[in-house]
Amino acid sequence: MKTRDLLSLFLFIAISVSGFSQNNFNTNNVKWMKYWTNFSPNKTNYADYEEQLPNIIDRDTYLRSDIIYFISGNVYVTNDATLTIEEGTLIKADTDQTTNLIISRGSKLIADGTKSAPIVFTSNKSSNSRKSGDWGGITIIGSGKANTIEGEGIIKGKFNPLYTIFGGNNIDEETTILRYVRIEYAGKSTNGLSLYALGNTSIVENIMVSYSADDSFEWHGGASTSKNLISYKANDDDFDFTQGYRGELINIVAVKHPYITSNNGSYAIEVDGYNKKIGFDNTKILSSIDITGATLISLVDESNYTHTRAAISINNLGELYINNSSISGFSDVVQLDNTFSTLGMIETAFKLDNSFFNVHKEGVITHNDIENSTFNLLKYNRFTKSFKQPEEIFSAPLDKTNPDFSLKNSLNNYMVVQ
């Protein structure tokens, strides 16, 4: 496979580098993925539903784990009501019409599963017949800060306008509690999980979105912290941020399939500082994300690796800091659009620290004829001299039951951008 000529100008082989050792690099810590995840959801036999939820839930409602529920069409939680879902509950979605669960502003979703009893949202189809986009997804609307002209916005999609306004000034709102939740085969006309203007006390932890036909996760504004998130074989982006989202993600995994992508292509991470179609109200509140412990993988092989694109896309003055992470199987680490017109702007927009990458091109894609000055963005990170397939890099990335995305070899076996 191709060796990156540009990289060879900047590297040397080192057994240890000051400040960069195997001891402080925690990308191998994937134990949090065990027991509650499902990497073969199409093989799972789910029982038939027993009770259908109404399309308007306007009072506090509790869903029990001993009942299997069905949602059909758009189901709205309104009137400041709280929908509470017990651990281990299964909710099946109608696939004959577009079906979504929408938590309107002021209302609340508490879906607090456990490692041994996760909450599952899935397609109503039988095993081995489910597919991406069988149903819509979950949309949670908050009153936190969004960088829109009016401070508020309208969620994407064809929904009842009475329940679609997001944003406000309640930055400390606990908009939702989501723990140990799986969302399978969503993404029809929306994303697997859409989070609008969440308050910073919201809890979003241990969430797995599998086979979404659109983005797996998408944040519009807000300032929450999330951790232990998995996007598995989405058609579009895995983690998407826009409209002034300013928050932190800890431990995320994106697994892309080389033949599952949108018409416009997709990224593991896409950051937009603002929504270009509607503008923004404050240059000081553009999207800015810190990510620690990301594993971004494209499961390519020798026959298809040249068709990949960058792992990360940053647009419209967005900012991303990513550290202690692994990026493998893509053409490049990051692509930045033409809103970054100088090297200084690019260095502010993207920082990669204490991480590892395995890509088959130069590593950084920019515009405005400044490509040759940007490789320092990857300085002090480790990388492969030549492109490697996933099973050469990770312990068991192709296992369909219990994949292991920890690095097979010590980081000291790889080269350092110096």
Q: What is the mean pLDDT of residues 142-146?
A: 96
Please state the separation of Cα 191 from the chain's center in Å: 11
pLDDT-derived band of residue 374, with 50, 70 and 90 as boundaries?
A: low
Q: What is the pLDDT of residues 62-86, one digit of tens each?
A: 999 999 999 999 999 999 999 999 9
In this predicted structure, the answer to whether residue 216 has a pLDDT above a threshold of 60 is: yes
DSSP-assigned states of every residue in 288-319:
EEEEEEEEEEE---TTTGGG---SEEEETT-E
CA angle, corner 157, sides to 111 and 199, nearest 5?
45
Instruction: Give the chain's radius of gyration (CA, Å).
Output: 21
pLDDT at residue 1, as a whole number: 37
Closest to 126 measured CA to CA, from 101, 99, 95, 100: 95
pLDDT-derived band of residue 145, with 50, 70 and 90 as boundaries?
A: very high
> How many residues are given for the chain?
418
> The tokens 């041994």 sit on which residue?
116
Out of 3.90.79, 3.90.350, 2.40.10, 2.160.20, which CATH number does the structure's domain 5-417 have? 2.160.20
In this predicted structure, the answer to whether residue 18 has a pLDDT above a threshold of 50 is: no
Closest to 120 measured CA to CA, from 100, 140, 93: 93
Spell out the domain ranges in the chain.
5-417
DSSP at 46:
P
In this predicted structure, the answer to whether residue 3 has a pLDDT above a threshold of 80 is: no
Give the type of residue at 297.
I
Looking at the DSSP bridge assignments, the partners of residue 364 are 334
Q: What is the dihedral of CA 342, 241, 365, 1, to 10 degrees?
A: 160
d(C-alpha 67, C-alpha 47), whole Å: 10
Mean pLDDT of all residues belonging to the chain: 90
Determine the straight-line distance between the first and last CA of the chain, rounded to whole angstroms.
Answer: 23
Closest to 142 measured CA to CA, from 172, 182, 99, 184: 172
Q: What is the pLDDT of residues 217-231, one digit of tens each?
A: 999 999 999 999 999
DSSP at 53:
P
CA angle, corner 377, sides to 374 and 379, nearest 5?
120
Q: Which residues of 141-171 are buried (b: 16+ CB within 10 A; e: fewer)?
A: bbbbbbbbeeebbebbbebeeebbbbbbebb
Judge residue 58's burial from the number of C-beta atoms within 10 Å of its C-beta, 0-12 exposed, 13-18 middle, 19 or more buried.
middle
CB 221 within 8 A of CB 145: yes
Give the type of residue at 383.
F
pLDDT-derived band of residue 29, with 50, 70 and 90 as boundaries?
A: low
pLDDT at residue 279, as a whole number: 79
pLDDT at residue 412, as a whole number: 86
Q: What is the pLDDT of residues 326-350, one digit of tens each?
A: 999 999 999 999 999 888 899 999 9
Contacts of 308 (CB under 8 A, 6+ apart): 258, 298, 300, 329, 330, 331, 360
In this predicted structure, the answer to whether residue 121 has a pLDDT above a threshold of 70 is: yes
In this predicted structure, the answer to whether residue 191 has a pLDDT above a threshold of 60 is: yes
Hey, is 369 helix, strand or coil?
Answer: coil
HEC states along 73-107?
Answer: CEEEECCCCEEEECCCCEEEECCCCCCEEEECCCC
pLDDT at residue 277, as a whole number: 82
pLDDT-derived band of residue 13, with 50, 70 and 90 as boundaries?
A: very low
The total of other beta-carbon atoms located within 10 Å of residue 14's CB is 14
In this predicted structure, the answer to whether residue 28 has a pLDDT above a threshold of 70 is: no
